[in-house]
């Protein structure tokens, strides 16, 4: 996908950095937030799904608490994040309401996305919010995250969210114009790179760390984020958030900032991930009708077409789909654990509530979480 293809984008993740949001730590830049939200509202009017990943909770908390230096201890960081999160949510919600849009606060930790069941839960929630036309405002759950489960920076979080919702494009707004051939504060002749492949070997040498002291990410984390986003085929643009109409300009395909070209198309990227990165935990044997529907029509797998269930798996883990001869035809992330899957195998989704005591996903495996082998 080139910049000319941005007109085809249907879902975008936008990440705004701490320094931008808080005017370098002086407090929330409400005028800038108003402008960004107006542009995001414009995307929603074009039926483009928007997910916002917001930094700034710690920086805003520091401002409210009168702290001049970013805290070093984890509990102080968590306390500042708790205070700052209140301000962030209020300002974003007020601004989206001005455009007749609802915002939803979503706080995530790394554990939420590494655990397959929580991954599916988070994905289902976000996709449902988007279906309702809501703009999810996502931040790392700094108030409870520990060193072991924290993302480390919201650039990484934004990339993982792009993977999660299968976004077409990730836009990272920062206080820099984009990626340069070298640190422009050290090398005056450094030049802005308008476009580069996520697999270019020069990237590590050109990216530097954060100098602001407010956020945890520098250009190096943004490069890593672009590579992470590319795992699901998403392109990435890093641009200066202070530029007027920056979001609208990027979405129009105008050359602004640095465009990171993904190495694979979205479908192939997801196939690689499902087929090669996760361990198969169980097997579903399908009847001939279900096999035909999967192969020919590309539809989701319904429980009524499942004849047998084997293995040990929980909701969100990877299972193989076999035909009646035992040949694998597909694999995907299952919406039910083994016990419940056995109970509803061969049954219509209309019977789920009576059998299980609850009604959840109508599909055993949704087509978006399945690849044919």
The C-alpha torsion from 37 through 41 and 46 to 51, rounded to 10°, is: 60
Closest listed residue to residue 283, CA positions, set 348, 315, 328: 328
Q: What's the chain's length in residues?
A: 373
Q: What is the Cα Rg of the chain in Å?
A: 22
Question: How buried is 351 (Cβ within 10 angstroms: 0-12 exposed, 13-18 middle, 19+ buried)?
Answer: middle
Residue 73: its pLDDT value, please? 82
Domains defined along the chain, listed by start = 3-264 (3.40.1160.10), 278-372 (2.30.130.10)
Nearest to 344 by CA among 368, 361, 330: 361
Whole-number Å distance between alpha carbons of 91 and 34: 9
Round to whole Å and give the CA distance between 309 and 370.
17
Ranges of the chain with pLDDT below 50: 148-149, 210-217
User: What whole-number distance in Å separates Cα of residue 144 and Cα of residue 346?
Assistant: 42
pLDDT value of position 217: 45
Residue 101 is encoded by which pair of tokens? Answer: 């849009």
pLDDT of 25 reads: 66
For the chain, strand residue ranges (E) read 11-16, 49-54, 103-108, 135-140, 169-174, 195-197, 235-240, 258-261, 280-286, 306-311, 318-322, 328-333, 370-372
């Amino acid at each position: 996908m080139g910049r000319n293809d941005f007109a085809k984008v249907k879902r975008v993740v936008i990440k705004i950095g701490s320094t931008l949001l808080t005017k370098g730590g002086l407090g929330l830049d409400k005028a800038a937030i108003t402008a960004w939200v107006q542009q995001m509202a414009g995307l929603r009017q074009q039926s483009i799904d928007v997910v916002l990943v917001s930094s700034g909770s710690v920086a805003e908390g520091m401002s409210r608490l009168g702290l001049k230096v970013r805290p070093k201890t984890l509990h102080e960081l968590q306390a500042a994040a708790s205070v700052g999160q209140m301000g962030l949510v209020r300002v974003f919600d007020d601004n989206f309401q001005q455009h007749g849009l609802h915002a939803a606060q979503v706080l995530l930790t790394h554990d939420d996305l590494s655990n397959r069941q929580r991954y599916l839960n988070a994905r289902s929630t976000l996709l449902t919010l988007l279906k309702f036309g809501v703009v999810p405002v996502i931040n790392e759950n700094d108030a409870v995250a520990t060193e072991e489960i924290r993302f480390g920076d919201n650039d990484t979080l934004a990339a993982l969210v792009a993977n999660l919702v299968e976004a077409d494009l990730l836009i990272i707004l920062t206080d820099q114009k984009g990626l340069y051939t070298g640190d422009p504060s050290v090398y005056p002749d450094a030049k802005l790179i308008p476009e580069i492949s996520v697999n270019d070997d020069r990237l590590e040498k050109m990216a530097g760390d954060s100098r602001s002291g407010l956020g945890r990410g520098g250009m190096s984390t943004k490069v890593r984020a672009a590579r992470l986003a590319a795992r699901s085929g998403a392109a990435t643009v890093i641009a200066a958030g202070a530029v007027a109409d920056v979001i609208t300009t990027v979405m129009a395909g105008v050359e602004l900032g640095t465009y990171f070209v993904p190495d694979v198309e979205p479908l192939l990227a997801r196939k690689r991930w499902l087929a090669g990165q996760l361990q198969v935990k169980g097997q579903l044997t399908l009847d001939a009708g279900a096999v035909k529907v999967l192969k020919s029509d590309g539809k989701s797998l319904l429980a009524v077409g499942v004849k047998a269930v084997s293995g040990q798996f929980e909701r969100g883990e990877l299972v193989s789909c076999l035909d009646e001869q035992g040949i694998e035809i597909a694999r995907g992330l299952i919406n039910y654990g083994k016990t419940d899957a056995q109970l509803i195998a061969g049954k219509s989704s209309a019977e789920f509530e009576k059998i299980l005591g609850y009604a959840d996903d109508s599909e055993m495996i949704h087509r978006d979480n399945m690849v044919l082998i």
